[in-house]
Amino acid sequence: MQAFFSEYGSQLTSNLFEHIIISFLSLLLGTLVAIPLGVLLTRTKKVAGVVISIASALQTIPALALLTLMIPFFGVGRTPAIIALFIYSLLPILRNTYIGMENVDPNYVDVAKGMGMTNIQSIISVELPIAVPTIMAGVRLAATYVIAWATLASYIGAGGLGVLIFSGLDNYQPELIIGGTVPAILLAIIVDYLLEKLETFLTPISLRGGSEQ
């Protein structure tokens, strides 16, 4: 263990940082696009099925194929990796946002209208807070996908923990495989835990039920 960190410690730190940056930016973009789009689709239900079907179709493309497809348009490096992983993050967040908003009790919406709230005020103050648990479930799922698939980003020169994993596979060095895989797993667990705490914080106290002891 000590010998591994002595030889590969700086590379592991660098690759881990790259992995975090790629994953964070991809998930952030997915969240910023998918949540507003999911809300909008609840107001334009005629196109909701089409948009969600397109997002579903994009997610069926193999991750490595999608990463490779980005190269002719964006070259190699971090940018095409972030764009490809952003596309992968869309469906879980978009679908859960749409479902969460659709499942809001209409009585709450009626009360908001009765209080004189505009459509935007109703969405921000009433519907989104109620839909938070469902939306965050989609964000947590997308985060797991993105962190896992970011290991493939090394194939197009984006760095990340995949550099260690595939270097170990190519050179039959198990310590490199473990050195890249274990941090990726721990990163996914830590991010999921942090997002769970964020979900609890954003969920109205009256809706938390037994989540708090």
| pLDDT tens per residue across span 61-91 | 888 899 999 999 999 999 999 999 999 999 9
Chain mean pLDDT for the chain: 91
Report if residue 104 sits inside a domain.
yes
Query: Which of 193 and 46 is assigned the larger pLDDT?
Result: 193
46 within some domain = yes
Q: Is 10 within the bounds of a domain?
A: yes
Domain count, the chain: 1
Q: What integer is the mean pLDDT of 171-182?
A: 92
- The pLDDT score that the predictor gives to residue 166 is 92
Domain hosting residue 93, numbered range: 2-203
Q: Is residue 208 part of a domain?
A: no
What is the structure's pLDDT at 97?
A: 96
CATH of residue 132's domain is: 1.10.3720.10
pLDDT of 119 > 80? The answer is yes
Q: Is residue 144 part of a domain?
A: yes
pLDDT in tens, 11-60: 999 999 999 999 999 999 999 999 999 999 998 888 998 999 999 998 88
Residue 209 lies in a domain: no
Q: What pLDDT was estimated at residue 172?
A: 87
In whole angstroms, how large is the CA radius of gyration of the chain? 20
pLDDT at res. 2: 74
With respect to residue 100, please indicate whether it lies within any of the assigned structural domains.
Answer: yes
Residue 127: pLDDT above 60? Answer: yes
Please state the length of the chain.
213
Confidence of residue 213 (pLDDT cuts 50, 70, 90): very low
Q: What is the pLDDT of residue 151?
A: 94
Q: Are 156 and 68 in contact (CB under 8 A)?
A: yes
Give Dmax (Cα) for the chain.
Answer: 68
pLDDT at residue 209, rounded to an integer: 63
Is the whole model's pTM more than 0.85, yes or no? Answer: yes
Q: Has residue 82 been placed in a domain?
A: yes
- Alpha helix segments (H runs only) across 60-124: 63-74, 78-102, 106-114, 119-122
pLDDT over 90 at 5, yes or no: no
Here the tokens at position 154 are 């090394």
Task: Outline where DSSP puts E strands in the chain.
Answer: none
Helix, strand or coil, per DSSP, at residue 157:
coil
